[in-house]
């Protein structure tokens, strides 16, 4: 299941998994830009899918949005 991939990526990088699936993990300050890039890379490696960064950056980056984008790839 993809949602486990996202949560596992947070854990692999020693990042706290947000308790609110809808909060923007970047704008809220939960992670910084370097951690965001590491997280996205980890998700790509674990899922074997390539995320479209242009689409991702069009809106807030939440767990729900990450899941939706991962499901579309």
How confident is the model over 26-62, as pLDDT tens digits?
Answer: 999 999 999 999 999 999 999 999 999 899 989 999 9
Rounded to 10 degrees, the C-alpha dihedral 8/55/24/16 comes to 20
Structural domains in the chain? 2-72 (1.10.1200)
Exposed (0-12), middle (13-18) or buried (19+): which is 66, by Cβ within 10 Å? buried
Given a cut of 90, whether residue 7 has pLDDT beyond it is: yes
At residue 4, does pLDDT exceed 80? yes
- The H-or-E segment that residue 2 falls in is helix 2-12
> pTM for the whole thing?
0.88
For position 1, what pLDDT does the model report?
A: 41
DSSP for 13-67 reads TT-PPPS-TTS-TTTTTSS-HHHHHHHHHHHHHHHT----HHHHTTS---HHHHH
Q: Of all helices (H) and strands (E), which one includes residue 73? A: none
pLDDT tens-digit readout, 8-29: 999 999 999 999 999 999 999 9
């Amino acid at each position: 299941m993809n949602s486990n991939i996202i949560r596992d990526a947070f854990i692999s990088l020693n990042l706290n998994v947000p308790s609110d699936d809808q909060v923007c993990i970047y704008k809220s300050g939960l992670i910084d830009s370097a951690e965001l890039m590491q997280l996205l890379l980890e998700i790509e490696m674990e899922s074997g899918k390539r995320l479209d960064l242009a689409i991702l950056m069009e809106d807030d980056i939440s767990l729900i949005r990450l899941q939706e984008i991962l499901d579309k790839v």
